Amino acid sequence: MASALQRGYATAGSDTGHAPDDLKFGVGHPDKIDDWAYRAVHVMTENAKLIIRNYYGRLPQYSYFTGCSTGGQQALTEAQRFPADYHGIVAGDPGHNRIHLMAGAMWTLAAASPLTAAKLPLITKAAISFCDAVDGVTDGVIDDPRRCNFDPGALLCKGGDKDNCLTAPQVESVRKIYDGARNPRTGERIFAGWTPGTETTWTTYFVGPTEPRRNEFWKLWVFNDPDWDWRTFDFDRDLAFADTKMAVINSVDADLRPFKARNGKLIMYHGWADGNVPAADAIEYFERVKLALGGSDLTTDFFRLFLAPGMGHCAGGDGPNTFDTIGALEQWVEHGNAPEQMIASKIINGVTARTRPLCPYPQIAKWKGSGNTDDAANFVCVMAPQAK
């Protein structure tokens, strides 16, 4: 909100109707779950516009929404449910496929059981070493993990378990996490996998915790049983039940034609090194929108996805992670200049150490072959080679 105020905007925010960071607020109050899922931001938006009208004597000329993580989910909810609320929307690292995100986290916690936190940096170091130069530039960042066939089997211990290698169960565990959550009975994919280069973040969610993140969702909202044991989860019956009962918390509708029809513009970005929500899930949503809209040209004229190599969840990471999405959105909405790239910066101790263009998916930034590889001016956006 402070950043928006500094740009001269009238600004509003919402706690979506609850303050504590737990899910007890929804027990016995499905209306409060609706508030959290979609209604609160919409009501905030309508009231903010009326307050602006009463103070300035007119409604705002342009309205923009920006959010990351759950805020990214809220951004997509606005585009999907309330296409008239905003002229432009920024959705960062969205946790929009919420039910399957949490089911995937549950599955991954079980799959990660052989791993130890001490060995995760070893895997990340090996993954970066193997994948770094695939994009033609050795800079300590994996540009697109899908283009690299890193196999953790390269770290297999030869003579018993040691600190600098992985046991066979640990190798298989990492392979499963990369591949993504699958129904143990049918093999059907439940949720996207986490990519090579994210391993050191797994301690927050998979390696160390004794129960899945947001386990309260299943206990309190789905099964109404505070004593429910996550180990009893049935990926056929229980996931289908949750998909039906709690569909309101998802923001997965790919039909954005009403938003487009109002000349709305949507920028979605995602960090490739995001260990919270995998970037592959954002790609899957973008591809579904393309299918729903009828092709790439009918999608990219109002919706563009930017993937940030080496960036973590909404921020951080080893790659350039500071970029101006609102400025790009203003140019698109107000002047018709679609973002062909966004310049991202890596700032260390207040000093810009590297810049790199972020390109609209499926393009990638390619080094021209000469000039400083820490300068965005020496890169050009090109179509990505076919992922291996």
Give the pLDDT of residue 5.
Answer: 95
Query: How far, in Å, are 126, 320, 323, 344, 353 from residue 347 at the CA level?
Result: 25, 8, 11, 10, 6
Catalytic residue among 135, 274, 281, 318: 274
Task: Give residue 21's pLDDT.
Answer: 72
Given a contact cutoff of 8 angstroms between Cβ atoms, the answer to whether 136 and 366 are in contact is yes
Q: Give the pLDDT confidence score for residue 175 in this predicted structure.
A: 98
Residue ranges of domains in the chain: 62-97+251-339, 100-247
Residue 384: pLDDT over 90: no
Active-site annotation holder among 87, 96, 100, 313: 313
- Position 18 confidence tier, pLDDT thresholds 50, 70, 90: confident
pLDDT tens-digit series, residues 93-144? 999 999 999 999 999 999 999 999 999 999 999 999 999 999 999 999 999 9
Report cis status (omega within 30 of 0) of the bond before 60.
no
pLDDT band at 159 (very low <50, low <70, confident <90, very high): confident
For residue 311, the cross-strand partners are 317
Residue 14 known to be catalytic: no
pLDDT band at residue 385 under the 50/70/90 scheme? confident
State the amino acid at position 137 in one-letter form: V
Residue whose pair of structure tokens reads 């890193």 in the numeric block:
150
Report residue 17's pLDDT band, with 50, 70 and 90 as the boundaries: confident
Structure tokens given for 158: 């030869």
Share of the chain above pLDDT 90, in %: 95
Q: Report how far apart the first and last C-alpha atoms of the chain are (Å, whole number).
A: 41
Query: What's the confidence (pLDDT) of residue 365?
Result: 96
Reply yes or no on whether 63 is catalytic: no
- How large a percentage of the chain has pLDDT more than 70? 99
What pLDDT sits at residue 19? 73
- Is residue 324 predicted with pLDDT exceeding 70? yes
C-beta neighbour count of 69 within 10 angstroms? 16
Look at residue 386 and tell me whether its pLDDT is greater than 70.
no
pLDDT band at 387 (very low <50, low <70, confident <90, very high): low
pLDDT tens for residues 27-60? Answer: 999 999 999 999 999 999 999 999 999 999 999 9
What does the pLDDT average to over 3-26?
A: 90
69 is catalytic: yes
**Distance (Å, rounded) from C-alpha 83 to C-alpha 260?**
8
Instruction: Count Cβ atoms below 10 Å from residue 70 Cβ, excluding itself.
Output: 16
Q: How far apart are CA 289 and CA 298, in angstroms?
A: 10
Please report which confidence band the pLDDT of residue 292 belongs to, taking 50, 70 and 90 as the band edges: very high
**What are 305-321's pLDDT values in tens digits?**
999 999 999 999 999 99
In CATH, what number does 62-97+251-339 get? 3.40.50.1820
On the question of pLDDT at 153 being above 60, the answer is yes
Strand partners of residue 271:
308
Which residue in 72, 75, 64, 77 sits closest to 248, CA to CA?
Answer: 77
Closest by CA to 173, choosing from 149, 160, 156, 148, is 156
Of the listed 69, 238, 253, 324, which one is catalytic? 69
